[in-house]
A and B are shown apart, each in its own frame.
Chain A
């Protein structure tokens, strides 16, 4: 149970404060500011205990959101709730920034009123909330009888995430496979750890109560379903991937997944996250970074970094950025790069090398001479890793969408009439190579 919720800006000024329980005093809001936001050292833990009160905080850009309680609660649940709250707010007014919060101040109080009562989470589905709180305020007296009854059925309905009677002229759906690939590589090019965390996001504009069935090239699914047709197993066996674990949106029937390994569901209207998964095996690492650092005497460093793209030549990677850290006592840098633009940014202590586009199976190189100021500091430079950012148009885990079928028995449209779009985007998460 949550006793209160506070939102602060980066200076510690209170933007929103809502207290739900008597045991949270008025000074709690100040205690957090003094002890955490204004504290000199870096944040020690996202859970802070001040005077026997627990403060759970998350940060979004430079906004602090804190939940307060005196009870022995489930920490994971409180953080999930804070994330959910951020999602709900983002769904209403976009980015969570000081300006947006100040402008939507009334709306936030309205939301806080609905999603928590007496400190207990209530309905927090954005879809459901949106029917009775709108950006401009509530549709109060203009509300027709019909709309009112819709709210009631929405709120009572058996399926909490979708209301009845949705109609579209054009039935359309969009599937986005969004992955972030994480890598930690040793200087010798040995993979220390790598994983992909991915999400399948679906945007559906479908009429009625459509039953959807989703298929992908997961090993277990294919093996289980392919038993009948041995032919198919051999064909797709090579391309199937091993998902370490995956979780689904509430709408997916888990019992059916466990028994038949099929993913079937009635989707919420609009955008939602269908599944979230993680893989660690056979990851396609889109880029290899090969660093070479040579210390020439005490006042000079020579750095050479080669990046190799490792995917089909027909595909193009975008927004490539390589960040090569430099020592603190750098006095000057000369950079030569074959492709893109490179710049030494003194304020960030790094050489930032940007390439707009790069095709697969290509190689590019940067070399830099770093001049150092002689210091009497005996401290050796710790050599932070070289990090990389990029975006590629495929899924580094190898996941493929095999089909998405739509059945709506009550209305007269079939699977063929639905326009479907599938898109794969692989982004870098924490992609680091030690040097």
Chain B
């Protein structure tokens, strides 16, 4: 399409629109107007013919009118002065005998997004609200919301709101629903439309008269109604029961959410509801409408988080079919992974094993990761399947299997033996960075059980020059040093070569620094190296932390039937956080680098902090997490303002400390692993005036005290003293808990 030279097109169309012969011939006139709209759709700037289009609006042909109004709604903001000319015609149409014309004119007039239009539309809207044709009333009711949007933040017109509330009793169902929508927008600042007992009951009685969109909307509005008594609550639930079986999945989901929220104090009712919607949900999961199927699967996963056994007997419904789209298959694999239990584990694993050799590498890898997930509970069977997969000698499979093994031995140490036996030979089929890292890590940590580990690593050392991924080189350094500790004779020579290469020839600074670090560490003595590198090889508790026990239904009920289950909670959190930031845009700095360099506090975060008894005038505010880089820079540039030593004995859990610090709004920037010596932690905090406190905690090996150094970016002793007392309290509390 001619994006360039659109002037010619505009000129030609202008001429055609002005041509009296064309104007006289209705069909030709309409055709020219159609062309204008077509170009507009394609993104051409057609605002040049505004004047001519306004003239074209004075016609009896409704189709033409509609086209012209569509045009005007698009370009009115660009040509507000010319758009005013059109208002006259529109106003006249608002009193046309034909209700269609009245509605159309009113709708278009309200959609003209330009300043100053309010004064013209107010009266037509008020007339429209009392029109005898419901078609016009529907338009007028939404027009109120549009008018309010145009005004921006102007105050709410009480009379209009009252009128809308009374229209909730209108006999036309769509008018009723539109009223709710309109009131919701107008009263947004006051928390939206009020659903009191009479309104709620009125809506409940009208439910069956509404179409599916209306039903879904009303169900959503009813969420904010609090029944007065238990009796009323159950009456409502009985009334709405049939909607759990509605033909529209959207209504079913809406009704389910309402039930879950209303019955939040009755867990058995909630479970009952979830049992009742099982059928409709499963039907949606196997429906031909793939997008709905996808949405239903997302919600099934949500339910499984709370009721792991809920769909277990229907596991076959979640078997993938060859021709299904990718996104459905991936969801189904996730579901299968979550509903596995003692009875179906065999069949599910059998099915997943079939997927592992799928043509689509993505899907195959997802299936392998799923088996890895199931392996946390059913270790032996899964490890066996994974080992068999290695026999296929396919790159994309081997790399994922090895990664799965790495994560698995960390969580389930009992499978280490089997994994170690499976590993030899894998190195031939791994080319990508992730897979190599996983393999090298396994060889380093469990090398003493794998006979040929040094020789595999030797191959990597030989080829280190042509290795493209710095991360692999780093992993190789660590692994080789670890293996050197357990099998020194076989590794000494190549460790020397690797260190030489990394220090003398390597161009990547991170790798070089790591090499230098290990070199110097070796100079200190082998005992020191052992203490630092031989950390525990597994941590089964991590698994427990990762999948917390069954979450109560109430924790996600309010997210049900929104976008949260579709995007996933974490992704949604980032989206909505950005949205929040966007909303208070003007108060925030424009660039992110600036945000990190100044002590700026987002307005909405300025909530009161839980005050400690001895914190005095100091008020710490939750800081946006400082970046580690910025912390380091500031730390190096400042002098120590205060140093102190506190008594400290024995072991403790760093997480506990971190949590405790979080409570008083002190952020942890970096922290050593539990049990390492020396143990260090870097903390940062900020008070309400923007003063930064940077802190280092240090536990020296052998010493029974904690050394605290605090730096401050503004020298103010009184705040410094109160900050230190806060810190002392926290550390003191931890010490008490411990003992």
B67 within 8 A of A: yes
Residues A152-200 near B (CB distance < 8 A): 152, 155-156, 158, 160, 180, 182, 184, 192-193, 195, 197
- Give the A-B pair count, Cβ closer than 8 A: 231
Chain B residue with Cβ nearest A253: B208
| A370-389 Cβ-contact flags toward B at 8 Å (1 or 0) | 00000000111010110100
Let me know if A254 and B62 touch, CB within 8 A.
no
Let me know if B327 and A192 touch, CB within 8 A.
no
| B245-280 Cβ-contact flags toward A at 8 Å (1 or 0) | 111111001100000000000000000000000011
Known: A15-B41, A180-B288, A193-B317. A160 touches B211 (CB 8 A): yes
Let me know if B286 and A75 touch, CB within 8 A.
no
Let me know if B142 and A117 touch, CB within 8 A.
yes
Known: A52-B578, A74-B216, A143-B98. A14 touches B42 (CB 8 A): yes
In the bound assembly, the distance between CA atoms of A1 and B180 in angstroms comes to 13
Cβ of B324: which chain A residues have Cβ within 8 Å of it? 430
B431 within 8 A of A: no
Scoring A14, A117, A429 by chain B CB atoms within 10 A of each residue's CB, the highest score goes to: A117
How many B residues, CB 8 Å from partner? 100
Closest Cβ of chain B to A43, distance in Å, is 7
In this complex, the interface size class of chain A, counting residues with CB under 8 Å from chain B, is 35 or more
Let me know if B173 and A22 touch, CB within 8 A.
no
Let me know if A121 and B563 touch, CB within 8 A.
no
Cβ of B98: which chain A residues have Cβ within 8 Å of it? 140, 143, 148
Cβ of A76: which chain B residues have Cβ within 8 Å of it? 249-250, 253, 284, 292, 295-296, 561
In the bound assembly, the distance between CA atoms of A123 and B174 in angstroms comes to 8
B169 within 8 A of A: no
In the bound assembly, the distance between CA atoms of A258 and B325 in angstroms comes to 37
Chain B residue with Cβ nearest A383: B357
Closest Cβ of chain A to B294, distance in Å, is 6
Chain A residue with Cβ nearest B296: A76
Cβ of B177: which chain A residues have Cβ within 8 Å of it? 120
Cβ of B295: which chain A residues have Cβ within 8 Å of it? 47, 75-76, 79
Let me know if A121 and B319 touch, CB within 8 A.
no
A403 within 8 A of B: no
In the bound assembly, the distance between CA atoms of A200 and B213 in angstroms comes to 23
Known: A43-B326, A54-B563, A74-B254. A138 touches B172 (CB 8 A): no
B380 within 8 A of A: no
Known: A75-B295, A109-B37, A124-B211. A247 touches B286 (CB 8 A): no
Let me know if B99 and A148 touch, CB within 8 A.
yes
In the bound assembly, the distance between CA atoms of A75 and B209 in angstroms comes to 23
A314 within 8 A of B: no
Let me know if A152 and B99 touch, CB within 8 A.
yes
In the bound assembly, the distance between CA atoms of A143 and B98 in angstroms comes to 10
Cβ of A434: which chain B residues have Cβ within 8 Å of it? 354
Let me know if A52 and B70 touch, CB within 8 A.
no
Known: A16-B41, A44-B326. A195 touches B286 (CB 8 A): yes
B232 within 8 A of A: no
| A246-273 Cβ-contact flags toward B at 8 Å (1 or 0) | 0111100011001000000000000000
Residues A31-81 near B (CB distance < 8 A): 42-47, 49, 52, 54, 56-58, 70, 72-77, 79-81
Within the complex, which residue of B113, B286, B564, B579 is in contact with A278, where a contact is CB–CB below 8 Å? Answer: B286
Let me know if A193 and B41 touch, CB within 8 A.
no
Known: A105-B38, A254-B242. A382 touches B358 (CB 8 A): yes
Let me know if B357 and A380 touch, CB within 8 A.
yes
Let me know if B138 and A387 touch, CB within 8 A.
no
Cβ of A29: which chain B residues have Cβ within 8 Å of it? 43
A421 within 8 A of B: no
Residues B284-340 near A (CB distance < 8 A): 284, 286-292, 294-296, 298, 316-317, 319, 321-327
In the bound assembly, the distance between CA atoms of A238 and B321 in angstroms comes to 32
Chain A residue with Cβ nearest B170: A156
Cβ of A113: which chain B residues have Cβ within 8 Å of it? 66, 70, 104, 107
Scoring B98, B291, B326, B354 by chain A CB atoms within 10 A of each residue's CB, the highest score goes to: B291
Let me know if B63 and A152 touch, CB within 8 A.
no
Within the complex, which residue of B60, B66, B134, B250 is in contact with A109, where a contact is CB–CB below 8 Å? Answer: B66
Let me know if B393 and A378 touch, CB within 8 A.
yes
Within the complex, which residue of B135, B146, B316 is in contact with A152, where a contact is CB–CB below 8 Å? Answer: B135
A106 within 8 A of B: yes
Let me know if A83 and B145 touch, CB within 8 A.
no
A132 within 8 A of B: yes
Let me know if A106 and B67 touch, CB within 8 A.
yes
Known: A155-B134, A244-B283. A43 touches B327 (CB 8 A): yes
Cβ of A47: which chain B residues have Cβ within 8 Å of it? 294-295, 563, 566-567
Let me know if A278 and B283 touch, CB within 8 A.
yes
Cβ of A382: which chain B residues have Cβ within 8 Å of it? 357-359
Let me know if A75 and B359 touch, CB within 8 A.
no
In the bound assembly, the distance between CA atoms of A384 and B359 in angstroms comes to 9
Known: A160-B173, A430-B321. A110 touches B60 (CB 8 A): no
Known: A109-B37, A109-B67, A195-B286. A44 touches B562 (CB 8 A): no
A151 within 8 A of B: yes
Residues A98-113 near B (CB distance < 8 A): 105-106, 109-110, 113
Let me know if A192 and B316 touch, CB within 8 A.
yes
In the bound assembly, the distance between CA atoms of A125 and B393 in angstroms comes to 57
Let me know if B392 and A380 touch, CB within 8 A.
yes
A118 within 8 A of B: yes
In the bound assembly, the distance between CA atoms of A123 and B137 in angstroms comes to 13
Within the complex, which residue of A52, A106, A117 is in contact with B139, where a contact is CB–CB below 8 Å? Answer: A117
Within the complex, which residue of A70, A110, A143, A258 is in contact with B63, where a contact is CB–CB below 8 Å? Answer: A110
A218 within 8 A of B: no
Chain A residue with Cβ nearest B571: A49
Within the complex, which residue of A45, A46, A77, A429 is in contact with B250, where a contact is CB–CB below 8 Å? Answer: A77
| B169-202 Cβ-contact flags toward A at 8 Å (1 or 0) | 0011110011001000000000000000000000
Residues of A at the B interface (CB closer than 8 Å) are 1, 13-17, 22, 29, 42-47, 49, 52, 54, 56-58, 70, 72-77, 79-83, 105-106, 109-110, 113, 117-118, 120-125, 132, 137-138, 140-141, 143, 148, 151-152, 155-156, 158, 160, 180, 182, 184, 192-193, 195, 197, 244-245, 247-250, 254-255, 258, 275-276, 278, 378-380, 382, 384-385, 387, 429-430, 432, 434
Q: List 18 A-B contacts (CB under 8 A).
A: A17-B41, A44-B326, A72-B576, A73-B562, A74-B561, A75-B566, A76-B561, A117-B139, A120-B181, A143-B98, A155-B134, A158-B209, A184-B319, A192-B316, A247-B246, A249-B247, A382-B358, A385-B322
Residues of B at the A interface (CB closer than 8 Å) are 1, 34, 37-38, 41-43, 60-63, 66-67, 70, 98-100, 104, 107, 113, 132-135, 138-139, 142, 145-146, 149, 171-174, 177-178, 181, 208-209, 211-213, 216-217, 220, 242, 245-250, 253-254, 279-280, 282-284, 286-292, 294-296, 298, 316-317, 319, 321-327, 351, 354, 357-359, 392-394, 561-564, 566-567, 571, 575-576, 578-579, 582
- 17 new A-B pairs (CB below 8 Å) besides A79-B291, A148-B98, A430-B323? A75-B561, A76-B292, A81-B213, A82-B291, A110-B66, A118-B142, A132-B100, A137-B63, A141-B60, A152-B134, A184-B319, A193-B317, A245-B283, A247-B248, A275-B247, A378-B393, A430-B322
